[in-house]
Amino acid sequence: MDIIKIVGIAFVTLIIVIILRQYKPEFAVYASILGGAIIILLSLGKLEGIVNLLENIASKTSINGEFLGILIKITGIAFLTEFATSVCKDSGETAIANKVDLGGKIIIIAISIPIVSQLLETVIKVLP
C-alpha cells in the first residue's frame, strides 16, 4: 500500500524537520521540500493509470482530446501551486505563498479559456 509509504515518509520528514528547527533552522526547509518531493514522486506512479483511463473514456465519447490535455495541465498546475504555497507558508513567507497561489490561479484561468469558449459556443447553439 502506497499510502503507508507516504505516511511513513511524512512522519520521518516531520521528525527530521522538528529536530533541524532546534539546531539548524535554515536546513529545516530543505528537509521539508525533499520529503514533499519524495511523496510527490511516489504518487506520480498512480497518475499514469488515471491518465490512461481518462484517455480511454475520451476516445469512447466525443470529448476533444485537446480538452483532456488542458484538464491534465490544469490539475498539474493546481498540485504544483499547492505544494509551492505550502513550502512558502512552512518557511514563514505567507506573502510569497499568496503570490504563488494567485499566479497559479491566473495561469489556470488562462489555460482554461479554450474550454470555456467551447462551452459558451455550445450553450449559444442550444439556446433558441
What are the tens digits of pLDDT across the range 116-128? Answer: 998 898 889 888 7
Whether 51 has a pLDDT exceeding 90, the answer reads no
Distance CA 24, CA 32 (A): 13
Q: What is the pLDDT of residue 22?
A: 93
pTM of the complete model: 0.76
What pLDDT, on the 0 to 100 scale, is given for residue 66? 81
User: Which of the four pLDDT bands, split at 50, 70 and 90, describes residue 82?
Assistant: very high
With cut-offs at 50, 70 and 90, classify the pLDDT of residue 57.
confident
Average pLDDT of the residues in 20-39: 90
